[in-house]
Amino acid sequence: MAFARVNGVVLHHEVRGPETAPALVFSNSLGTDFRIWDDVVARLGDAFRVVLYDKRGHGLSEATPAPYRLDDHVGDLSALLDHLGVTKASIVGLSVGGMIAQGLAAKRPDLVSALVLMDTAHKIGTPEMWNQRIDTVTGKGIGAMSDAIMERWFTPSYRRADNADFIGYTAMLTRTTVDGYAGTCAALRDADLTQSTAALTMPVMCIVGDQDGSTPPDLVRSTADLVAGSRFEIIEGAGHLPCIEKPTETARLLQEFLRRGR
């Protein structure tokens, strides 16, 4: 395991693949850690130098006191890449990880060669929705919301009691720290990247599961529409986390897009 103190927080991270290969960075969704990408990364072979990390308050990274700003998460990733000596990378971001990726591309375009925005948007939800989540998680714990979250994350066929993976990902969610979850909800509540994302000039691909209950296809498409020349793809039979339910299809889209640069 590797840890680094950057931007005032200790981040758990891992680097895989050849040092000389193009850098590919993955940023995770709310309530998950970097293991959600394992099946995708395994299908990419040695084509990339892969950087995985747990954002603050998630996985094995330090949970600083809530609330957080999106700028905190963006600063964390920027500082981690500087620490690792990564000077240019393609960034893959899922949900809030996609907002972190958009924020990084706007603030540090020198670091970003291409963006893959998965099941995310330039703005997600309403202040009222996020405040309700913050109140629930701080008052009752994440377990009080877990069933509803799982319904948005996964398709009905995946949400089976006999599916050991589904039980495991439920545990991943419910073991997220309260500060990490509530703090990141505050970051999502206060973030609107409409203008900065519309100004992006690097290659962008937006991907969404056809059954995503958190960031539905029309919302993700609206983000793709902001960016001139962007690509939009729907993965059939997937919810909010195609990297888990459809890793082969997800890896194929990544490889095709990054090989062509658009």
> How many C-beta atoms surround the C-beta of residue 62 within 10 A?
18
> At 168, which CATH number?
3.40.50.1820
> Which pLDDT belongs to residue 260?
77
- For residue 245, which of 218, 219, 213 has the smallest C-alpha distance? 213
pTM of the model: 0.97
Preceding peptide of 67 cis, ω within 30°:
yes
- Residue ranges in the chain whose pLDDT is less than 70: 261-262
- Give me 130's structure tokens: 């996020």
User: Is residue 24 a contact partner of residue 259, using CB atoms and an 8 Å limit?
Assistant: no
What gap in Å lies between CA 53 and CA 60, rounded to an integer?
A: 9
| CA 84 from centroid of its chain's CA atoms | 20
Q: How many domains does the chain have?
A: 1
Longest dimension (CA), the chain: 48
Question: Contact, 56 vs 214, CB < 8 A?
Answer: no
Predicted pLDDT at 261: 56
Which sign does the torsion angle of CA 168, 137, 245, 77 carry?
Answer: negative
Sorted by sequence, the CB contacts under 8 Å of residue 131 that are 6+ apart come out as 189
Residues near 194 by Cβ (< 8 Å), separated by ≥ 6? Answer: 122, 123, 226
Pull the structure tokens for residue 111: 């670091």
Residue 237: domain span? 2-260
User: Which amino acid is located at 100 in the chain?
Assistant: I
pLDDT at residue 220, rounded to an integer: 98
pLDDT of residue 221: 98
In angstroms, rounded to a whole number, what is the distance separating the alpha carbons of residues 201 and 237?
31
Q: Give the pLDDT score at 262.
A: 42
